[in-house]
Amino acid sequence: MLSVAVSWDLYLQTRSAIVLGNVGFVQVAPFLLFALFAGHFADTHDRRRMLTFTQLLFLASSIALSVGSTSVYLIYSCLFLTATARTFQGPARSALIPNSVPPEVLRNAITWSTSANEIATVTGPAAAGLLLASLGSKSVYIAQGLCSVGSFLCFYMLRPAPRPRSETVSPGLRSVLDGVRFVRKNELVLAAMSLDMFAVLFGGAITLLPIYAVEILHTDARGLGWLRAAPSLGAVTMALLQTHTLRVHKAGAVLLWSVAAFGVATILFGISQSFWLSFAMLILVGAFDNISVILRHSLIQMETPDWVRGRVLAVNNIFISCSNQLGAVESGWAAALLGTVPSVVAGGFATTLVVAVFAARFRQLRHWKQ
């Protein structure tokens, strides 16, 4: 909900693709500055307490935006605050999953966790579009604040199992960098993280949805909400299908093909001038992306021991933030220089090229089986 309202407010105030793209700079900075320390905190401190504290930062941001969302600088400041909270919350939240379920159902638990998140992101943008059209952006920020309170209560009531301590985590800088060393030495984990980063870096069409909604598809705030919800609708549908299917044995091949299909769907979205065709392509974008997300998260969780899991997940968050947020920057600047449609189409082609390079370069990833 917050992302839809913020992008709408910024575009109405500035009519600038660069302003929309620069949102990526604001949100990626905390990940680059604090992510490694956030992973270290997740491995050395109570993860549940980290979740409750960071959730209060989301609430504070919602309150600030509901008071003064007419300032571009205030919006950027609140986005920086929420990105900082997300930086510290992400490793702690993901690392708690293996402490909450038996190992034999971990992959299915990751799928359900992803599904729950996608259900929220399906309903959120659609609700934001309805609220924007009827009551304005301030109502979205208030609603998002109420959701933050609900999340705080959920985190507070968590009771995970005690964490195993196979190794002692030292407080020094060397310990902070253990996650980086683990990823660098594990070629399979490194390849999976890098594939997602480079592929999504060029496939960031979501950033330009306000421009597509107004100038190409000629729709309103409600239409923008549905367009923004379409990838999540595809993702949650695919996630629910995966929870009821057998394990994917040739996981590496499926991962590569799903990312390639993500790029093709992005190209078709880029050239579409029909609302419903664009909506359908965004659903496919979300569905194929969800396949790669679940496979990648399963790989990382299974390959990483608990004592370093928070720091490895922090490294993964750096990769994700670079792909998502810097992808938003790339999309905004490319749209300003080349035009909206050429930038999206070129990004889709670049994504498929990345898949071809990784399939040829990383044999271990190509032949990875669960």
Q: What domains can be seen in the chain, in order of their start residue?
A: 2-158+175-366 (1.20.1250.20)
At 263-302, the pLDDT tens digits run 999 999 999 989 999 999 999 998 998 888 888 888 887 7
The whole-number average pLDDT for the span 132-142 is 88
pLDDT band at 28 (very low <50, low <70, confident <90, very high): confident
User: What pLDDT is attached to residue 172?
Assistant: 61
Selected residue with higher pLDDT from 308 and 141: 141
At 36-75, the pLDDT tens digits run 888 888 888 888 899 999 999 999 999 998 887 677 888 8
- As a whole-number percent, the residues of the chain with pLDDT over 90 amount to 20
In the chain the first and final C-alpha atoms are separated, in Å, by 35
Find out whether 290 and 239 touch, Cβ atoms under 8 Å: yes
The whole-number average pLDDT for the span 159-168 is 66
User: What pLDDT is attached to residue 121?
Assistant: 67
The whole-number average pLDDT for the span 122-142 is 84
Per DSSP, helices labelled H in the chain are 2-14, 17-44, 47-68, 72-96, 106-134, 137-156, 173-176, 178-185, 187-202, 209-211, 221-243, 251-271, 275-303, 306-338, 340-361, 363-366
Provide the token pair at 79.
């986005």
Find out whether 27 and 79 touch, Cβ atoms under 8 Å: yes
Average pLDDT in the chain: 83
User: What pLDDT is attached to residue 122?
Assistant: 65
User: What pLDDT is attached to residue 291?
Assistant: 87
Selected residue with higher pLDDT from 128 and 175: 128
pTM above 0.85, yes or no: no
pLDDT exceeds cutoff 90 at 247:
no
Dihedral of the CA atoms 11, 16, 17, 18 (nearest 10)? Answer: -120
Task: Specify the DSSP class assigned to residue 38.
Answer: H
pLDDT exceeds cutoff 60 at 166:
no
Find out whether 281 and 231 touch, Cβ atoms under 8 Å: no
